[in-house]
Amino acid sequence: MSSLSLANKTVLITGAAHRVGAHMARTLHEQGATIVLHYRNSKTAAEQLQAELNSQRGQSVFLAQGDLLDHSQMENIVSQAAEHTGQLDVLINNASSFYPTEVGKVSNQQWEDLVGTNMKAPFFLAQAASPHLAKQQGCIINIVDIHADRPLKGYPVYSMAKAGLVMMTRALACELGPYIRVNAIAPGAIMWPENDMDEATKEKIISRTFLKRKGDPGDIAKTALFLISDATYMSGQVLTVDGGRSLNS
């Protein structure tokens, strides 16, 4: 694949300052894309990543700040992304809230946060971005979760929100074709949660994969690159990247 295979393409990645979002930014930037890094509060991390990538190719990475829980900001985030190059080719809905919620004690704030970041914001960002994407015959990639199909114990609201995002992927593929492709990536054990997880739990998760190892953020980034560059006849699909874990009941 050419090192400039994504040249002249502008990619907006939400929640791009850290973790998998930052890895996708580096991978797609390496392939020639102009990257718009969305962040909410992680200004310092976003600016550091911007400086790192701009040192490799000047004026190739821009920032878009916004709160995904604020509906009024969706249009502005997309506008910030499109104005830098006058176009938008790819939207990657990566930003996500993830934490447990106990049935019987779920608060409205927790519901609004988990459903808002994992389902509502991706929809309204896609709606705002679709006129720009259609002009470029671009694509949307949603980062879902293997637990959209099999709920994660203790995380009912998160699991439901990701299940909604899977259906949104299929529904938007139907609604936005033929000019926009919409697909999703469902990661398994790629990066451990930022909250504490004991070693026994980690070992149990790894033992349930067919490959007997944890994945790498690069696996998700390369899958995103495939969906953008090569999957020109794919839409409405979910690519599972989990070492076989979701098949091992």
Residues 178-237: tens digit of each pLDDT: 999 999 999 988 877 776 677 887 888 888 888 899 889 999 999 999 999 999 999 999
pLDDT at residue number 97: 96
Active-site option among 39, 99, 155, 158 = 158
Mean pLDDT, all residues of the chain: 94
Looking at the 3D structure of the chain, how many domains does it have? 1
Lowest-confidence range among 4-13, 22-31, 33-42, 225-234? Answer: 4-13
In a domain, 69, yes or no: yes
In a domain, 174, yes or no: yes
Which residues form the domain of 126? 10-241
Instruction: Tell me if residue 158 is catalytic.
Output: yes
For residues 214 and 81, the model is more confident at 81
CATH code for the domain in which residue 39 is found: 3.40.50.720
pLDDT at residue number 205: 85
In a domain, 46, yes or no: yes
Sheet holding 238-241, edge to edge: 61-65, 34-39, 10-13, 90-93, 139-143, 181-187, 238-241
pLDDT higher than 60, residue 1 = no
In a domain, 4, yes or no: no
In a domain, 104, yes or no: yes
pLDDT at residue number 189: 86
pTM, two decimal places: 0.95
Q: Could you give the CA distance from residue 152 to residue 8 in angstroms, rounded to a whole number?
A: 40
In a domain, 5, yes or no: no
